């Protein structure tokens, strides 16, 4: 009986795999390229980092810590700007 369940599971997995392959073939040519998707994901990640840095900056009291956060914020904003230009192309 256990063998029957294994066969059913394998058959289900093969069917799911075939469905996945057919979905890949159906993607429209105008869809977002892999590189563009990665850039958008990186942009979202940078925006979250920027938000976190701003929150930390609000709470920071020590001047050296504030300076470190400001430097990080500048770097993140610069990278956001660079990636935004690439994404909009």
Q: Is residue 6 part of a domain?
A: no
Cβ-count burial of 46 within 10 angstroms (0-12 exposed, 13-18 middle, 19+ buried)? buried
**Which of 41, 45, 23 is CA-nearest to residue 33?**
41
Q: Is residue 28 part of a domain?
A: no
Q: Say how far residue 43 (Cα) sits from the centre of its chain.
A: 8
* pLDDT tens, position by position, 67-88: 999 999 999 999 999 999 988 8
pTM of the full structure = 0.62
Classified as helix, coil or strand, 40 is helix
Q: Is residue 3 part of a domain?
A: no
* pLDDT tens, position by position, 9-38: 666 776 777 766 555 555 555 577 899 999
The number of folded domains in the chain is 1
pLDDT at 1 over 50: no
């Amino acid at each position: 009986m256990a063998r029957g369940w294994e066969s059913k599971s394998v058959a289900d997995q093969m069917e799911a795999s075939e469905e996945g392959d057919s979905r890949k073939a159906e993607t429209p040519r105008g869809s977002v390229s892999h590189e563009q998707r990665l850039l958008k994901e990186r942009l979202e990640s940078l925006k979250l980092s920027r938000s976190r840095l701003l929150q930390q900056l609000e709470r920071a009291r020590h001047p050296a810590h504030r300076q470190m956060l400001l430097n990080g914020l500048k770097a993140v904003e610069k990278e956001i700007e660079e990636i935004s230009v690439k994404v909009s192309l």
